[in-house]
Amino acid sequence: MRRHQGPYLEDRIKKMEERDNMKKKLVAILLSLALVASAAACAAPAATDTTAAEVPASGNPVVKIGIYEPASGDNGAGGKQETLGIEYAHSVSPTVEINGMTYDVELVKVDNESSNDKAASAASTLVSAGVSVVLGSYGSGVSIAASPTFEAAGIPAIGITCTNPQVTEGNTHYFRVCFLDPFQGTVLANYAFSTLGVKTAYCLSKLGDDYSGGLVNYFVKAFEALGGTCVQDTFPDGNSDFTSYVNNAKNSGAEVFFSPVSTEAAQLIIDQAESQALGMPILAGDTWDSNVILQAAKGKSVDVTVTTFYPEGANAEFDTGFKAWVSADATRLASNGGDDTVAAVTAMGYDAYYFALEAIKKAASVDPAAIMAALWSTTYEGVSGPIALDQVNGDAIRNTAYVKHANNETGMWDALPPVTIG
Amino acid sequence: MLDFLHANLSYILSGISVGGQYALIAIGYTMVYGILRLINFAHGDVFMIAGLMMVYLSTALPVTVAIPLVLVMTVVLGFLIERAAYKPLRTAPRMSVMISAIGISYLLQNAALYFTGGLAKVYPAIPWLSQTVTIWGSTTKMVTVVTPILTLVLVVLLTLLIKYTKVGMAMRAVSKDFETSRLMGIRINTVISVTFVIGSFLAAVGSVLYFTNYASVTPVSGSMPGLKCFVAAVFGGIGSIPGAVIGAFIIGIAENVIKGGTSIFGFGGSGWTTFSDAFTFALLIIILVVKPTGLFGEKATDKA
């Protein structure tokens, strides 16, 4: 009996196993299909977030402007505020006249995730979307990383608040509407040496970060030229323990703490400065001009001073317009850090949008090459001051930096006298 | 000597504190490895999610309610991850489970990215823990003092649980021989669930302490501490609880001592802080080359 049953049973088992396997396979295939479908459904609007339809109701032709900004990562908060400035400008002027024809401006947004390795693919997304000109990015590192992609595509890019000289150096397609780090570093060094009257500075930057590393470098040069001494430290990516850095600053005999790092690290530094009783003023560059810093410093015994592009209150019309626009929508308000503070980067984003429109008008074309040629001689009177570019690198000619001090009681910026050099 | 200690106390204090927080996470790695021979890559992200839960819960609830709720929810999360992503793969090759763990890790990170919008969330100040205290001239937060004590208490409790309770005995049996203990009638799934529950609970406690000190939670907040705790577990001998705790304290203290290198070793400049992370991972390589079983690791016996 057994001899007869053996193969029969084996056969049964085999068949059952096969059926079981098939079922499993089917489930796996169905599951992965569902995943792919849902991913596609999510990814499609997320990758390129267009604010206007391909063919708008007005029937006007369309000119596309790319927004190359971080919406997440270290610089997500700042990138979102800069994007808000561009979007506000777009809501005020959604069209542009080219050769007597009205074009609708369409904004194409990508998130470069504040990451140098994501920069190229984010930039390619804009290139394949067919944008005529790109605005951004907040953060010099990502701008430098995306530069070759824009160059290869022949699309001009306008840096809004990326202050590292390397962004525009030695190329003809990257422009910039803000001041540069050699200037900002000098302003900060002068402020520390002359106004604060300190002789030793502790400088902290992030390892491998073009922005903070560059700015510290220029600060050190200017500060040592004045006769001061600097103690330098760096922290690695992903670090959130700043206790020892605060201790290093205290032990080094420094009298000022200079840390022009991302706002994400800034929160932690302010927090540790308070709990470790740093006991010296903290100085930083334009990134710290953010309500993230104000919220972190509120109610704490820290002394934070920053240099920036635009002080709130300088242009009442822009300020009130923006505040009303941002308060009208909960998502915008959240992107602005939960209140209606006007960040300098927002004003710069606003100016950059109009500067780009001026260039498009001047070029009388939506062709990227024509806009690139026109940008060199474009001028615009912005809320942050007049914008005209030098003819070497395409950088804005600016000689004023605004100085702000965080008020720990009100949680607002107190304006200090602006610094003009040259 | 005393002067030296006095001058550098703050580095050592923060080293001990962060070491204690690493220890609580490292136990989760080492216990799961001991029982399932699985490196649970999602553990660091469970720690991050616990931090995010606290951020959101504390906006609506008082801290005294929010903390227990965070502990419970993290435990549930750990339990569910095990049931959903690891249990169905019990008979699959070990590599599949590990890949599943990596998948869960990215799933949690991206879910956090979606919910936070990619921005850093400020961790709420917990009244007593966030208080500033001065110890022998160095100022720090209360949490720095509480962490090592709480860590030691929890480790002692855990050791007692493993030594003297029935479930503890079952855990030891399962980690010795998975198949045999199953034949002996031990409910393997319950034991594994308990392991995940304990690991997640300790990670949640660790997250409360860690984020009170470094008050900002981002979607990737868990990955660096997670990696370092994994190194701590390997350093101490993966599978061994005292090993993980000692490894974590060594890494935490060494990291901060290196950051304070200029002051402690009396020379150097900016070089020291640059290499604080490099040290941790160099340690991993050295221990793997010199003593692959770690400080307290069992001798590798192939049970195949």
Instruction: Answer whether B224 sits within 8 Å of A239, measured CB to CB.
Output: yes
Residues B223 and B44 sit within 8 Å (Cβ to Cβ): yes
- CB contacts of B117 in chain A (<8 Å) are 71-72, 76, 334-335
Q: How far apart are CA A54 and CA A52, in angstroms?
A: 7
CA proximity to A372, closest of A105, A134, A98, A67: A134
Question: What is residue A38's predicted lDDT score, i.e. its pLDDT?
Answer: 62
Q: How far apart are CA B196 and CA A7, in angstroms?
A: 44
Q: What angle do CA A416, A418, A422 make, to 5 degrees?
A: 155
Q: Which amino acid is at B293?
A: T
Which of A327-331, B5-9, B126-130 is predicted with the least confidence, judged by mean pLDDT?
B5-9
Question: What is residue A107's predicted lDDT score, i.e. its pLDDT?
Answer: 94
Q: What angle do CA A136, A310, A326 make, to 5 degrees?
A: 70
Q: Which amino acid is at A88?
A: Y
Instruction: Answer whether B273 sits within 8 Å of A235, measured CB to CB.
Output: yes
Residue B39, in any domain of the structure:
yes
Question: What is residue A225's predicted lDDT score, i.e. its pLDDT?
Answer: 93
- CATH number for the domain spanning B180: value is 1.10.3470
Question: What is residue A50's predicted lDDT score, i.e. its pLDDT?
Answer: 46
Residue A9 has pLDDT above 70, yes or no: no
Query: Quick one: closest CA in B to A277, which residue?
Result: B139
Q: How far apart are CA B267 and CA A67, in angstroms?
A: 47
Question: Residues of chain A with pLDDT > 70: what percent?
Answer: 91
Residue B138 β-bridge partners: B135
Q: Kindly state the greatest CA–CA separation across chain B.
A: 61
At A194, list the tokens: 């002359």
Question: What is residue A371's predicted lDDT score, i.e. its pLDDT?
Answer: 94
Residue B121, in any domain of the structure:
yes
Domain range spanning residue B57?
2-290
Determine how β-strand A200-206 pairs with β-strand A256-258.
Answer: parallel
Instruction: Answer whether A244 sits within 8 Å of B14, measured CB to CB.
Output: yes
- CB contacts of A296 in chain B (<8 Å) are 122
**What average pLDDT does this structure show over A239-268?**
88
Question: Residues of chain B with pLDDT > 90: what percent?
Answer: 51
Residue B94, in any domain of the structure:
yes
- CB contacts of A244 in chain B (<8 Å) are 10-11, 14, 256, 259-260, 273
**What average pLDDT does this structure show over A79-107?**
93
Instruction: Answer whether B270 sits within 8 Å of A234, measured CB to CB.
Output: yes
H, E, C per residue of chain B? CHHHHHHCHHHHHHHHHHHHHHHHHHHHHHHHHHHHCCCCCCHHHHHHHHHHHHHHHHHHCCHHHHHHHHHHHHHHHHHHHHHHHHHHHCCCCHHHHHHHHHHHHHHHHHHHHHHHCCCCEECCCCCCCCCEEEECCEEEEHHHHHHHHHHHHHHHHHHHHHHHCHHHHHHHHHHHCHHHHHHCCCCHHHHHHHHHHHHHHHHHHHHHHHHHHCCEECCCCCHHHHHHHHHHHHHHCCCCHHHHHHHHHHHHHHHHHHHCHHHHCCCCCCHHHHCHHHHHHHHHHHHHHHCCCCCCCCCCCCCC
Q: How far apart are CA A406 and CA A298, in angstroms?
A: 8
* B243-297 pLDDT tens trace: 999 999 999 998 888 887 766 676 665 567 777 788 888 988 998 899 888 888 7
Question: What is residue A48's predicted lDDT score, i.e. its pLDDT?
Answer: 47
Q: How far apart are CA A386 and CA A402, in angstroms?
A: 15
Contacts of A267 (CB under 8 A, 6+ apart): A292, A293, A296, B120, B122, B215, B216
Residue A282 β-bridge partners: A257, A304
Q: Which amino acid is at A111?
A: D
At B168, list the tokens: 């503890």
Residue A52 has pLDDT above 90, yes or no: no
CA proximity to A204, closest of B275, B273, B260: B273
H, E, C per residue of chain A? CHHHHHHHHHHHHHHHHHHHHHHHHHHHHHHHHHHHHHHHHHHHHHHCEECCCCCCCCCCCEEEEEEEECCCCCCHHHHHHHHHHHHHHHHHCCEEEECCEEEEEEEEEEECCCCHHHHHHHHHHHHHHCCCEEECCCCHHHHHHHHHHHHHHCCCEEECCCCCHHHCCCCCCEEECCCCHHHHHHHHHHHHHHHCCCCEEEEEEECCCHHHHHHHHHHHHHHHHHCCEEEEEEECCCCCCCHHHHHHHHHCCCCEEECCCCHHHHHHHHHHHHHCCCCCCEEECHHHCCHHHHHHHCCCCCCEEEEECCCCCCCHHHHHHHHHHHHCCHHHHHHCCCCCCCCHHHHHHHHHHHHHHHHHHHHCCCCHHHHHHHHCCCEEEECCEEEEECCCCCEECCCEEEEEEEECCCCEEEEEEEEECC
Query: Quick one: closest CA in B to A241, which residue?
Result: B214
**What average pLDDT does this structure show over A336-344?**
87
Residue B302 has pLDDT above 50, yes or no: no
At A190, list the tokens: 């002068």
Residue B301, in any domain of the structure:
no
**What average pLDDT does this structure show over A259-280?**
88
Number of structural domains chain B divides into: 1
Question: What is residue A47's predicted lDDT score, i.e. its pLDDT?
Answer: 42
Residues B223 and B231 sit within 8 Å (Cβ to Cβ): no
| Structural domains in chain A plus CATH codes | 50-179+314-389 (3.40.50.2300), 182-308+403-420 (3.40.50.2300)
At A109, list the tokens: 């947004």
Task: Give the total residue count for chain B.
Answer: 304
**Burial B224-255, CB ≥16 within 10 A → b, else e:** bbbbbbbbbbbbbbbbbbebbbbbbbbbbbbb
Question: What is residue A7's predicted lDDT score, i.e. its pLDDT?
Answer: 59
Residue B220, in any domain of the structure:
yes
- The whole-angstrom distance between B209's CA and the closest CA on chain A is 13
* A365-380 pLDDT tens trace: 999 999 999 999 999 9
Phi then psi dihedrals of residue B211, to 5 deg? -75, -20
Q: What is the CA radius of gyration of chain A?
A: 26
Phi then psi dihedrals of residue A201, to 5 deg? -125, 140
Residue B296, in any domain of the structure:
no
**What average pLDDT does this structure show over A333-347?**
88
In angstroms, what CA-CA distances link A84 with A176, A264, A344, A351, A385? Answer: 18, 19, 11, 12, 19
Q: How far apart are CA A147 and CA A134, in angstroms?
A: 11
Q: How far apart are CA B299 and CA B304, in angstroms?
A: 15
**What average pLDDT does this structure show over B94-123?**
89
Residue A186 has pLDDT above 60, yes or no: yes
* A114-126 pLDDT tens trace: 888 889 999 999 9
Instruction: Answer whether B141 sits within 8 Å of A275, measured CB to CB.
Output: yes
- CB contacts of B226 in chain A (<8 Å) are none
End-to-end CA distance of chain B: 53
End-to-end CA distance of chain A: 106
* A289-310 pLDDT tens trace: 888 888 888 888 899 999 999 9
Q: How far apart are CA A231 and CA A258, in angstroms?
A: 10
- CB contacts of A76 in chain B (<8 Å) are 117-120
- CB contacts of A251 in chain B (<8 Å) are 7, 260, 262-263
Residues A400 and A286 sit within 8 Å (Cβ to Cβ): no
Q: How far apart are CA B133 and CA A158, in angstroms?
A: 49
Across the A:B interface, residue pairs with CB atoms under 8 Å apart total 113
Mean of pLDDT over chain B = 88
- The whole-angstrom distance between B222's CA and the closest CA on chain A is 10
Residue A2 has pLDDT above 60, yes or no: no
Instruction: Answer whether A271 sits within 8 Å of B214, measured CB to CB.
Output: yes
- The whole-angstrom distance between A305's CA and the closest CA on chain B is 21
Does the model's ipTM exceed the 0.85 cut? no
**pLDDT band (50, 70, 90) for residue A109:** very high
- CB contacts of B216 in chain A (<8 Å) are 240, 264, 267-268, 271
Residue A44 has pLDDT above 50, yes or no: no
Cis peptide before A137 (omega within 30 of 0): yes
- CB contacts of A292 in chain B (<8 Å) are 120
**What average pLDDT does this structure show over A67-95?**
91
Q: How far apart are CA A301 and CA B6, in angstroms?
A: 24
* B191-233 pLDDT tens trace: 999 999 999 999 999 999 999 888 888 888 898 899 999 999 9
Residue B98, in any domain of the structure:
yes
Q: How far apart are CA A105 and CA B222, in angstroms?
A: 41
Residue A41 has pLDDT above 80, yes or no: no
- The whole-angstrom distance between B176's CA and the closest CA on chain A is 32
- The whole-angstrom distance between A3's CA and the closest CA on chain B is 31
**Burial A317-344, CB ≥16 within 10 A → b, else e:** ebbeebbebbeeeeebeebbbeebbbbb
Tell which B residues from 93 to 132 touch A, by Cβ distance under 8 Å: 113, 117-120, 122, 130, 132
Residue B19 has pLDDT above 90, yes or no: yes
In angstroms, what CA-CA distances link B299 with B163, B240, B290, B291, B304? Answer: 21, 12, 14, 10, 15
Residue B165, in any domain of the structure:
yes
**Burial B23-61, CB ≥16 within 10 A → b, else e:** bbbbbbbbbbbbbbebbbbbbbbbbbbbbbbbbebbeee
Residues A262 and A75 sit within 8 Å (Cβ to Cβ): yes
Residues A151 and A143 sit within 8 Å (Cβ to Cβ): no
